[in-house]
Structure formats: structure tokens, C-alpha cells
């Protein structure tokens, strides 16, 4: 049998309506975002090309040659730098020795080891008291870390022959 009485149309649930509007809003936002990002990409690409052209125009042959020369000098400096770090200044030791040596002390032999900051001196003086004064002068200097008198003996002339080891500050010979 045919139904004559029309049935009411079923209404969509409230959450379905909300979901439909949210989805339509998201589609509109995504479409606008796509076109906006595409436009921004084109603008940045054009701006990047303009900057590259300006940079290329600013690089004259003279500037390029100066940059190349500068890089060559930098490479030379980097090559020499390790040698400068390893270089020791032994001249300062001789100045130190000259300023700290007693006038009646005569050094006849020197063995200088800059890696260990050590000097072995062989010398002669006229008396033990002069040698004692010399040892006091070396001991009072802040550059001397340790001092050893390894040998002392009377010689045929009545003087004193001696061997002396001086250990200096580790940074004394650094460049």
C-alpha cells in the first residue's frame, strides 16, 4: 500500500552541521593559504635573483683579484702559524743570564734544552762564597723553578769549578 501521508524529512544532526561548516571553512583557508604562499615564493625568488645581480655587479675584477690575494695571504699565515707556536726564544735566556750572573763567575759551557726549560752550566769562580752568592741570586728569581748544584770542586789555581742545573718556568721560552 502506498502511503499517502508524507513523512517529515529527517533533519541532520547538530554535530554534522557543525562539521560541515568547519570543513568548508578549512577548505577556504587552505585555498587562500596556497595562493598566498605561491605568491610569496614567486616574490622571494624574484628578490633573490635581484640580489644575485647586484652582487655580481659589485664584484669588479679588481675586487675579485683583491679577494683572491687576501685568501692567498690567509693560507700563508695559516701555514706559518704552527711554526711560530713551536718557535722558542733562547735569546731571552742569554739576557737573563747576563743580568743575573755574578761579576766574578765565569761560565765555560752551556747546554740549553728549551723543550724541558733546562740549562746546564759549567763554570769557574774564585771562591765558594761567590758561588753561594750566585746560587742565592738565581734562587730568588721568579723565573727559576729549581736549581741544582751537581758538582763543585777546587781547581789547580785555587778557584772553584762547578756544574749547575737551572730549571726555568715552562713559559719562559714561548714565543
Among 102, 112, 95, smallest CA distance to 165 is for 112
**pLDDT value of position 172:** 77
Among 175, 161, 121, smallest CA distance to 144 is for 121
The whole-chain average pLDDT of the chain stands at 88
**CATH code: domain of residue 122:** 3.30.1360.100
8 Å CB contact between 173 and 145: no
Query: Are 30 and 77 found together in one domain?
Result: yes
pLDDT digits (tens, 9 = 90+) for 20-33: 999 999 999 999 99
Query: Are 51 and 107 found together in one domain?
Result: no
Q: Give yes or no for residue 117 having a pLDDT over 80.
A: yes
**pLDDT value of position 54:** 83
Task: Specify if 8 maps to a domain.
Answer: no
pTM of the entire structure?
Answer: 0.52
**pLDDT value of position 2:** 65
CA distances in angstroms from 125 to 1, 108, 166, listed in the order given: 144, 11, 17
Query: Are 109 and 145 found together in one domain?
Result: yes
Listed residues 64, 85, 106: the one ending a domain: 85
Query: Are 129 and 159 found together in one domain?
Result: yes
Q: Which domain holds residue 75?
A: 15-85
Give the number of other Cβ atoms within 10 Å of residue 81's Cβ.
10
Among 121, 115, 120, smallest CA distance to 170 is for 115
8 Å CB contact between 120 and 111: yes
Model confidence at 36, pLDDT cuts 50, 70, 90, reads: very high
Query: Which of 1-15, 89-103, 128-142 has the weakest average pLDDT?
Result: 1-15
Amino acid at each position: 500500500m502506498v502511503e499517502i501521508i508524507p513523512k517529515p524529512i529527517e533533519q541532520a544532526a547538530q554535530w554534522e552541521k557543525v562539521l560541515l561548516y568547519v570543513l568548508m571553512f578549512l577548505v577556504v583557508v587552505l585555498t587562500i593559504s596556497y595562493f598566498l604562499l605561491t605568491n610569496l615564493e614567486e616574490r622571494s625568488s624574484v628578490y633573490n635573483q635581484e640580489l644575485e645581480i647586484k652582487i655580481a655587479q659589485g664584484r669588479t675584477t679588481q675586487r675579485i683579484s683583491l679577494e683572491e690575494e687576501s685568501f692567498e695571504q690567509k693560507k700563508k699565515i695559516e701555514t706559518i702559524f704552527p711554526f711560530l707556536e713551536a718557535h722558542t726564544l733562547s735569546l731571552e735566556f742569554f739576557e737573563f743570564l747576563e743580568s743575573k750572573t755574578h761579576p766574578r763567575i765565569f761560565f765555560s759551557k752551556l747546554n740549553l734544552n728549551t723543550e724541558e726549560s733546562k740549562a746546564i752550566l759549567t763554570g769557574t769562580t774564585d771562591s765558594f762564597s761567590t758561588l753561594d752568592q750566585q746560587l742565592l741570586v738565581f734562587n730568588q728569581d721568579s723565573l727559576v723553578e729549581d736549581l741544582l748544584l751537581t758538582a763543585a770542586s777546587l781547581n789547580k789555581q785555587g778557584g772553584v769549578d762547578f756544574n749547575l742545573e737551572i730549571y726555568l718556568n715552562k713559559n719562559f721560552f714561548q714565543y
